[in-house]
Amino acid sequence: MEKTVKHWFPVFVLPTLAAFLIAFVIPFVMGVVLSFTEFRTVSDATFVGFSNYVRAFTDNNLFLQSLWFTVKFAVISVIGINVIAFALALLFTRELPATNFFRTIFFMPNLIGGIVLGYIWQVIINGVLYKFGYSITSNPTYGFWGLVILMHWQMIGYMMIIYIAGIQNIPTDILEAARVDGANAATVLFRITIPSVMPSITICLFLTITNSFKLFDQNLALTAGAPANRTQMVALDIYNTFYSRSGYEGVGQAKAVIFFIIVAVIALLQLYLTRRKEVES
């Protein structure tokens, strides 16, 4: 049967393959090549070795500054979102009324787009700060915590749904047995619940880490990097390097390659580490 199927390659694979080549593979390869050249329109590219990579760090300190900002943001968001989402998921497994209603409410922000989310929170945060004579762009600290709050608001419901599914999959007889053996709540949580939901933890960490690092729309709408690019995350810095003035396209592409490598290494390292824990348990 495999032989007959093989002849149908053009029908089954070609449309996806062609789209994948055009939208991803060719641009990706071009992107890597162009990061070693100076160019404005692609066709005028001239080879310049690693100079774009050097310039990404030496032209100004915006790239390093945005990287550091992004790392701080990601660490706080990943920990905060996962702890709160997991705690909420545990609440949902108790016999409380109206859990469906709460689940609906908590998940909803995740469906709203990043641009819209950014402007919603801009109004709220500016409304509060206005009373003290400030706005979100008067101090980078406000923008930072604004982004952290926004990210929590958006992702907690999503992660909670995944954790609930994980907790519900734990066989009830294990929990019963633990209770019969006299295990207290903390023991059950750390010895049974958390090890059993390791697959959920793996995926939730993966989603929150990658989404935190790649954040763009929310950043653009909430502060657009203001004041003075101090609340600019890596994705926005790369975008501005490309498009805010001509002559820096090569540097922008080099930054993009570095960004890709950082995200890939962190994501794969995290998957490797948490997957190993899954096997042990």
Partner 1 sequence: MARKLLNTVFFVLLIVFAAAFVFPVAVVLINSFKAKFSISESPFTLPFGDDFVGLSNYVEGIKNTGFISAFGWSLFITVFSIAAILIFTSMCAWFIVRVKNKFTSILYYALVFSMIVPFQMVMFTMSKVANVLHLDNPLGIILIYLGFGAGLSVFMFTGFIKTVPLGIEEAATIDGCNPFQTYWQVVFPILKPTAITVAILNTMWIWNDYLLPYLVIGSDYKTIPIAVQYLKGGYGSVDMGAMMAMLVLSIIPVVVFYLFGQKYIIKGVAAGAVKG
* Closer Cβ to partner 1, 17 or 177, answer by number: 17
How far apart are the C-alpha atoms of 3 and 1, rounded to whole Å?
A: 5
Binding-site string for partner 1 from residue 3 to residue 22, where x marks contact by CB under 8 A and - marks none: -xxx-xx-xxx-xxxxxxxx
List the one residue from 44, 47, 49, 96 that touches partner 1 (CB under 8 A): 96
DSSP β-bridge partners for residue 205:
none
151 in Cβ contact with 77 (< 8 Å)? yes
* Closer Cβ to partner 1, 51 or 103, answer by number: 103
* Closer Cβ to partner 1, 19 or 75, answer by number: 19
CB of 9 to partner 1, least distance (A): 7
For residues 181, 184, 185, 189, the Cα torsion angle rounded to the nearest 10 degrees is -60
Contact positions with partner 1 (CB under 8 A) in 222-241: 234-235, 238-239
List the one residue from 36, 53, 86, 213 that touches partner 1 (CB under 8 A): 213
Angle, CA of 71, 76 and 81, to the nearest 5°: 125
CB of 181 to partner 1, least distance (A): 20
R_g over Cα of the chain: 23
Q: What does each C-alpha distance from 189 to 167, 175, 179, 202 come to in angstroms? A: 11, 10, 12, 17
List the one residue from 85, 204, 222, 251 that touches partner 1 (CB under 8 A): 204
Applying CB under 8 A, does 153 fall inside the site for partner 1? yes
How far apart are the C-alpha atoms of 124 and 142, rounded to whole Å?
A: 12
Applying CB under 8 A, does 142 fall inside the site for partner 1? no
List the one residue from 217, 226, 227, 277 that touches partner 1 (CB under 8 A): 217
Which segments within the chain are labelled E, that is strand? 37-38, 46-47
Concatenated DSSP letters of 111-167? GS-HHHHHHHHHHHHHHHHHTTT--TTS-HHHHHHHHHHHHHHHHHHHHHHHHHHHH
Contact positions with partner 1 (CB under 8 A) in 255-274: 256-257, 259-260, 263-264, 267-268
Q: Which range touches partner 1 (CB under 8 A), out of 45-53, 54-62, 67-75, 150-158?
A: 150-158
Applying CB under 8 A, does 244 fall inside the site for partner 1? no
Q: What count of other Cβ atoms lies within 10 Å of the Cβ of residue 27?
A: 12
Applying CB under 8 A, does 2 fall inside the site for partner 1? yes
Nearest to 143 by CA among 80, 85, 225, 51: 225
How far apart are the C-alpha atoms of 108 and 154, rounded to whole Å?
A: 8
Applying CB under 8 A, does 83 fall inside the site for partner 1? no
Applying CB under 8 A, does 186 fall inside the site for partner 1? no
Binding-site string for partner 1 from residue 101 to residue 140, where x marks contact by CB under 8 A and - marks none: xxxxxxxxxxxxxxxx--xxx-xx-xx--x----------
How far apart are the C-alpha atoms of 269 and 218, rounded to whole Å?
A: 26
CB of 61 to partner 1, least distance (A): 19
Contact positions with partner 1 (CB under 8 A) in 15-54: 15-28, 30-31, 34, 42
CB of 79 to partner 1, least distance (A): 18
List the one residue from 80, 195, 199, 227 that touches partner 1 (CB under 8 A): 199
